[in-house]
Amino acid sequence: MVKRTYTTNPLLKSLIAELKKRSSEQSVNIWKRIASDLEKPTRQRRAVNLSRIDRNAKENEIVVIPGKVLGSGDLNHKLTISAYQFSQQAKDKIEKTGSIMVNLLELSKDKPDGKKIKILG
């Protein structure tokens, strides 16, 4: 018998439910996709370094990481980064470049249509 893994964190559960709700209200699949990525077990959730974000994103883009942002590498341009979690080193480097860190719920309120958002990971 295989042990089922699922999210037990109540804050994460409420975030997933809210993203799914926003997806159905706005008929936008991006929030549903992010919610399904966050529902995965911790070992399968994405962890992205700043160096990868820097390589794959252009100036002033909005980037969503459905997982954790790690602090390896540098960020050379200003971005708006939204993620479930940020490491402390990543927070420091993001603030140093003048980039903005945004909560996933806040981003879904600000950009309900989901346009001009890039998912990395």
Phi, psi angles (nearest 5°) of residue 69? -100, 125
Has residue 66 got a pLDDT over 90?
yes
If you average pLDDT over every residue of the chain, what do you get? 93
Please state which of the ranges 5-14, 25-34, 74-83, 88-97 shows the lowest mean pLDDT.
Answer: 5-14
Would you give the distance in Å from CA 69 to the centre of its chain? Answer: 8
**Alpha-carbon span 32 to 22, nearest angstrom:** 8
**Alpha-carbon span 39 to 114, nearest angstrom:** 19
Cite the beta strand spans of 1-121 per DSSP E.
46-49, 62-70, 80-86, 100-102, 117-119
Q: What fold does the segment set 10-119 form as a domain? A: Ribosomal Protein L15; Chain: K; domain 2 (3.100.10)
Domain locations along the chain: 10-119
**Per-residue pLDDT tens over the stretch 91-117:** 999 999 999 999 999 999 999 999 999
Q: Which residues pair with 101 in a beta bridge?
A: 81
Q: Name which residue leads in pLDDT, 6 or 11.
A: 11
